[in-house]
A = this chain, B = another copy of it.
Amino acid sequence: MVYDALFSPKGVAVFGSVKPGKLANVLIHRLIEGGMEKIYAVNPKGQGVADVPGKEVKGYPSVLDIEDVVDLAVIAAPAATVPAVLEDCGKKGIQAAAIITSGFSEAGNREGEEAILAVSRKYGIRFVGPNCAGVVSTQDHLLATLETRPPEGNIAIISQSGAVGGSLMAMAKAQGLGVSKFVSFGNGLDLNMLEFLGWLKDDPHTKVVACYMESVHDGRAFLKTLAELAKVKPVVIVKAGRSSAGSRAALSHTGSMAGADGVFDAAIRQCGAVRAMSLEEMFDICKGFAMLPPVQGKRLLVVTNSGGPGVMATDRAEEVGLTMPEPTDGMKESLYEFLPSFASVKNPLDITVEGTGEQYEESLETALQEYDAALALYIGTPYLKSVPIAEGIAAAARKSGKPIAAHIEVGSDIQEAREILARAGIPHYESGERFVSALSKMAAYEERRRAPLGTAPLPAGELKPLPAELLEPDAKQLLRENGVAVQQYAFVHSEAEAAAEAAKLGFPVVMKIVSPQILHKSDVGGVILNIGDEAGARSAFRKLAQIGAGKDFRGAILSKMLPPGRELIIGLIRDATFGPVVAFGLGGIYTEVFQDVVFRVAPIREETAREMMAGIKAHKLLEGVRGQGPVDFDRLAALLVHVSELPFRYRDLKEMDLNPVFAYEDTAVAVDARMLKG
């Protein structure tokens, strides 16, 4: 298998000049440092490297001269020679390559990449790069990179940027965080984010996956792979390029609100991945996932020896949606059995400056019977020992089996204490707050993992084209045929028909002009409200016919005046990356004021629709304020689900706004509809 060759090669050939200071030379030193046994230098002069005591790396003018098995090529030869190098690799039967060499598409040299692709396809070679930072597999002693060597561990790091990859490796080392695999795929000409996410699912050494990304290529394939991986192990993603620079052509209302990042964010959460907003936060979260058992709920206990740090952790917990309930009365009694009376047996549980390691241990162990996770805070002075505290915390973690993290600071032996924690598998955080933030995302991951959503199955049936015209009656007719609840209406073509249909609908009614040449109906007086009787309906139709004279007048659309309802917007866009996306938010004038809209990749399930409704800032409005009851969530959810399926029935439906949708306690209907072809 290609990934076996890539990550655990039996022999590695390094291509390129091995003069001191040259890339291939450095790479060979790194491979030796990592513990790789069989390394071969390949360069025109057949020079080897012999300056590491006890380790001679022999040189060959061609890889074909090597008699042993070589299954990974690490290429640092000049760009122009890479195709020929790959040709030899192919002949030698090498399956995998890491092309470190730069000077390809990133420098405008696309032909070079074409040449590489041609050779690699011919021989079935899979490769990372070119212009990449290399590959690391700590468990396989493979250190084929120029970047910092990380400790061995269970976090896989995939970075779309070499520089960020380098930062991440340096950060991992500085924090003592163990890495299983590292790949920075550079130009990503062959193996890419998608392939590695797919493969890591089954890598037994990887417990957590950390990704840094800047763009997504095949959006739907990415989401599918991501969702499958996230079901098995946590994936923490930092995505750069959140800011609004990359804006979309905004034809619809919904489109104008869908910043590129809003859709990306929704998409990866829908797949169960975890979003981090900085590399720092990514490591905080990965550290928790790497070291702790799964977080089964949101109830956090804080044990501390001083007030301030406990309060700051509590503040953060409230902000990120964790709960910090007080211990139950029974629990308080149990705690007072070994805590002094002046301890503050609340949450935070303050065992005071006199708190001992045993008290940390017993408090944590006892209280964790009621909580899902605990944070142990200890602030000493330079004259106190923190080792006994660390030992107490470690003992509690062993016994309780629940997630415990710690922040211990200031003490003559603080380093030793932190090492005790690390050995006991207890993550240490720079501050209590940072653990609290990470914990909330860990808890959300487990919650989502228990009830994954993803996208719904595609609706059955063939894709059809939209009708030739999409005037309001056409759009409403189409919606109705597809199960989308639309307010009752009549499309009328004469005064008499207007009067008769108005009477059937029930007064008062509203009448709107229908003409392909009149898009902004209100501006030309083409919307007449509050029509009270048949005579009014006749005169209204007459008026619209006058307005429409000479403008391809098709008639008028009539509907009943609705009582005030909660005004919402439901929309569709086609995202450049992820394709059809459904939107839900507050409608009316407040849409623009608050931009209170959430997105999901379509099609969606009913549960996703419910999550969307709960996810807008104005969700209280839906639940009911000032004595109102909740809106009809069932019908709204059905509306959303049906709308989300439309792009999979009509191939040329580009964007749509249902604005407003009126939601009542006993129903929900789209009142206006606008569709765009494309």
Contact = CB atoms under 8 A, between A and B. Distances in A.
Contacts of A626: 589, 592
Nearest to A238: B312
B589 A625 contact: yes
Contacts of A547: none
A278 B319 CA distance: 13
B594 A594 contact: yes
Interface in A228-251: 238, 240-245
Interface in A363-412: 379-383, 409-410
A241 B618 contact: no
Nearest to A618: B593
Given A308-B212, A592-B620, A618-B593, A241 B315 contact: yes
B315 A243 contact: yes
A409 B170 CA distance: 8
Contacts of A410: 147-148, 166-167, 169-170
A627 to B, nearest CB: 10
B308 A161 contact: yes
A409 B410 CA distance: 26
A218 interface: no
A314 interface: yes
Contacts of A383: 26, 146
A240 B307 CA distance: 10
B309 A379 contact: no
Given A167-B410, A245-B314, A279-B312, 9 more contacts: A26-B383, A161-B307, A163-B305, A238-B312, A241-B315, A242-B315, A278-B431, A589-B626, A590-B590
A306 interface: yes
Contact of A309 (B147, B163, B305, B308): B163
Interface string A103-120: 000010000000000000
A590 B242 CA distance: 29
Contacts of A161: 306-308
Interface of A: 26, 107, 146-148, 159-164, 166-167, 169-170, 212, 214, 238, 240-245, 278-280, 305-309, 311-312, 314-315, 317-319, 342, 353, 379-383, 409-410, 430-431, 433-434, 589-590, 592-594, 617-618, 620-621, 625-626
A262 B383 CA distance: 39
A256 to B, nearest CB: 13
Contacts of A245: 314
Contacts of A379: 163-164, 166-167
B342 A107 contact: yes
Nearest to A378: B163
Given A167-B410, A278-B431, A620-B593, A311 B147 contact: no
Contact of A240 (B163, B311, B593): B311
A106 to B, nearest CB: 9
Contacts of A315: 240-243
B242 A280 contact: no
A422 B87 CA distance: 51
Contacts of A280: 430-431, 434
Contacts of A160: 308
24 contacts: A146-B381, A147-B410, A161-B308, A162-B306, A163-B309, A163-B379, A164-B308, A166-B381, A167-B410, A170-B409, A170-B410, A240-B315, A242-B315, A243-B314, A243-B315, A245-B314, A278-B433, A280-B430, A589-B626, A590-B590, A590-B621, A592-B620, A593-B617, A594-B594
Nearest to A171: B409
A617 B589 contact: no
A315 B167 CA distance: 18
Nearest to A307: B161
A677 B250 CA distance: 52
A315 B434 CA distance: 21
B306 A214 contact: no
Contacts of A617: 593-594
A247 to B, nearest CB: 12
Contacts of A164: 306, 308-309, 379
A307 B167 CA distance: 13
Most B CB contacts (10 A, CB to CB) among A410, A430, A431, A434 go to A410
Most B CB contacts (10 A, CB to CB) among A107, A305, A306 go to A306
Contacts of A242: 315, 318-319
Contacts of A166: 379-381, 409-410
A381 B243 contact: no
